[in-house]
Structure 1
Amino acid sequence: MSLLTIHEQNIIRQIETETSKKNIDNISRTNAYFSYFKENPDIQWSFLASMVSRNGGWNMCDLEGSMFRQLLAPQVRKQLFFTYERANWLIFHDVFPQLLVYQYSTKLGRPLFHLLPYFHVSSFIQNEWHRFWRDKDSKRLTTALIINEQNVIQKPVIEHPVYKKKVFQSLIFNFQDWLHFSCVLFPTCGGEVYGASVNGFRSLSKRINLGKRLASILFQPRLFPHFFEFAEKTTHTGSRNDYEQYFKMKTEGTTPILRMTYPVIKHHRQDNQDWSKVRKVSSSWLHFPVHHRHPIHLTDWYVAKSHQLQLLVSLKKALDLKKWK
């Protein structure tokens, strides 16, 4: 790493401070991503991140909502929350300094990507930022950031022994995964939802493919204005009422507000290993075109899944099950 000027050292400290200040909880992260996108619309990934982060908050609050409290034991819900929260925190910790380095670069009119190693980001994404500065290919950068951030959480979350055993190999996670209950949704103020379901979450390539599909949905010229309007008008609370308030029909179940439900969790990043030095970047991640095998308009699907979840709750009550593992 090269010697830094006093100005560059100050920039690093400012970036560290701002990242830490905004990496408090799911609400602060979601808002930070969206605010960044409004200031830097050429970094499309930041809008994608804000919308996916909204979904992370909804998933967290589902765990303490009226349905999942009846389906899942407290310890299972707690473990799932920590899994969502850890992944959410790690991605922000890794990516937000990158976004701020780019922002400082645009303000100063010269690339500052030689500062990226001080934030322990992968050599893969460092090269991609240099490429973006040169080529201004927003789609390529979006894909590269999707690849990078999914690799960032692969070892510390997906492959972590505790999460692997208690979450990703659990019956409830695999049941949910198999039935496509987990879904990333992009709502509109007109009461419609679009998105893609998550199946095979443990697979790195499938998560990257999902990210690419979500980006293609989010930035469809016909749909993007509606998603942006929703994000602009709708305060993120973590409750599914954020978007269900726009539905024409009433939905079953209620979910609480995140900051009235969960405490702030203290995190530390223990492993700064460069994933791209130990894992090969598949050409398919960067170059394979997006293919939607299922409809992206999910309003009817969402209503049907809500009814299925209610049936599961009723079944559990009927069988008087005390636990769901």
Structure 2
Amino acid sequence: MLNSFSDVKKELKKKAKKKAFGHLPDLLEKDKRWIYLIKEQTRQLNQNNVTRTQAYFQFYLQRPEIHWAFLGHMVSRNVGWNMTDLKGELLTKLLSDRDQKDFFSLLERGSWLIFQDVYPQFLIYDLSVRGRKEMFHLLRYFHVSTFMETMWRYFWNSGDQAALAFAMVINEQSYLEKRLIQNQHYKKTVTGTVSFKMHDFLNFNNIIFPCCTGDKREKASLTGGTLRYFTSLHERILFGKKLYSLLFQQERILAGVLKWAQEHPHTGSRKDYWPHLFNDINESFPRSLYKRRVKNCVLRKGAERLYSPPLKYAWPDTPHEKAESGDWFEDWHVLDYFHKEVSVDGGILTNYCKTIEKIELAVMAKETILLREE
């Protein structure tokens, strides 16, 4: 029985020595049926960023004790906004078509990988609750890390919601590390390129949580944080912990973000949260030189809103190759992350507004250079 954190540590120490999934025993027929149904449901919902994002939210509404489902929903919204930015008003003027496709490919692969790893975990937990019997032995048939099998069993016995959520942050970021961040193809086409370093410089790594202010006529207020080093596993894990703390340790913020999410279905367009600044219809003339339109996140007088398309008009659904096999878990010291303190203030507005203005200036600088070259 995994009733305490010391029990978790003992079990993970044993598993770290084995360093393998081991032989998978034969299954009962009813277990085989469950595995088929879970795989099929996961496949159907893993079509694109909008279907994934909605699936996380629906699961959270059914099982609100699984905090990561809502955190995952809100982060997945941000991934969708980043995807459509690539076809929006500003980045189409900064990035080549090739760069746009490569950046999208990185975001889409990461989004797809996480969903196909995490959603079967949700469905197996739901199956366990409905049957009043834990079914976490099924996780290994979905190549879920042995680390998570331990953490799900600990949660089942202890009810420690925060520990499970943070375990999922560690798991998902570690799962992505070799498959995406250290993948040679993505290093060559995205994370090692000049465009990506510019992406980092311009602070595109803002994660924002829109929050209802109480008055429907008012624009959503924003809280969130900025990830400084996207390619650092250590930084991504700590950033995930910060975002989790921001959402779930302040009731007022959780209630406001949840209310906003319920009232605004995810489309991928930034118009979802700020229709005063963004529009899903392009209002500007395609060949005209860009002039600054935004100051302190407010449109300048007479300026058109920034184009931010819905995902379905920006990118087609993408077929994916099967996920790479292997368990990332090798060292029980990942548990040290549970004890690391993070500071959270949620102040994102100033940084976010400056980001938009920086990108506008970069667009104008590029157009000036191109004019001089003509």
TM range (shorter): over 0.9
Q: 1-side partners of 2:361 and 2:258: how far apart?
A: 34
Which amino acid is the alignment partner of residue 81 of structure 1?
F
2:319 matched residue in structure 1: 266
C-alpha deviation, 1:178, in angstroms: 3.3
* TM-score, scaled to structure 1: 0.94
* TM-score, scaled to structure 2: 0.82
Q: Verify: 1:229 aligned to 2:259, yes or no.
A: yes
For the 8 Å contact 1:189–1:246, the answer to whether it is kept is no
Q: Verify: 1:93 aligned to 2:123, yes or no.
A: no
Q: 1:58-114 CA distances to partner (integer Å, 9 max, x unpaired)?
A: 000000001000000110110000000000000000010011000000000010001
What is the identity percentage for the equivalent residue pairs of Structure 1 and Structure 2? 35
C-alpha deviation, 1:304, in angstroms: 2.3
Closer, same or farther: CA 250–233 of 1 in aligned 2, 3 Å: farther
For the 8 Å contact 1:189–1:243, the answer to whether it is kept is no
Q: What is the SS of the residue equivalent to 1:320? A: helix
C-alpha deviation, 1:39, in angstroms: 0.1
Closer, same or farther: CA 281–94 of 1 in aligned 2, 3 Å: farther
Count residues in correspondence.
Answer: 320
Which amino acid is the alignment partner of residue 22 of structure 1?
L
Q: 1-side partners of 2:332 and 2:196: how far apart?
A: 28
Q: 2-side partners of 1:108 and 1:150: how far apart?
A: 30
2:176 matched residue in structure 1: 153
Q: What is the SS of the residue equivalent to 1:11? A: helix
Q: 1-side partners of 2:222 and 2:42: how far apart?
A: 31
Q: 2-side partners of 1:232 and 1:204: how far apart?
A: 31
Runs of 4+ aligned structure 1 residues displaced above 4 Å come to: none
**After the TM superposition, which of the residue ranges 232-241 and 295-304 deviates more from structure 2?**
295-304
Structure 2 residue ranges without an equivalent (≥5)? 1-23, 214-219, 278-296
Q: Verify: 1:291 aligned to 2:343, yes or no.
A: yes
Structure 1 residue ranges without an equivalent (≥5)? none
C-alpha deviation, 1:281, in angstroms: 4.3
1:214 matched residue in structure 2: 243
Q: 1:234-267 CA distances to partner (integer Å, 9 max, x unpaired)?
A: 0111111111126794485221110112111111
Closer, same or farther: CA 71–224 of 1 in aligned 2, 3 Å: same
Give 1:242-257 correspondences, 5 Å limit. 242-245=272-275, 249-250=298-299, 253-257=306-310
Q: Verify: 1:80 aligned to 2:103, yes or no.
A: yes
Q: Verify: 1:60 aligned to 2:90, yes or no.
A: no
**After the TM superposition, which of the residue ranges 167-176 and 208-217 deviates more from structure 2?**
167-176
Find 1:109's aligned residue among 116, 132, 136. Answer: 132
Q: 1:114-157 CA distances to partner (integer Å, 9 max, x unpaired)?
A: 11111111111111001110111010001100000111111111
**After the TM superposition, which of the residue ranges 136-145 and 298-307 deviates more from structure 2?**
298-307
Which amino acid is the alignment partner of residue 326 of structure 2?
Q
Q: What is the SS of the residue equivalent to 1:166? A: helix
C-alpha deviation, 1:5, in angstroms: 2.5
Compare CA radii of gyration and give the structure with the larger one. 2
C-alpha deviation, 1:306, in angstroms: 1.2
Q: 2-side partners of 1:86 and 1:92: how far apart?
A: 10
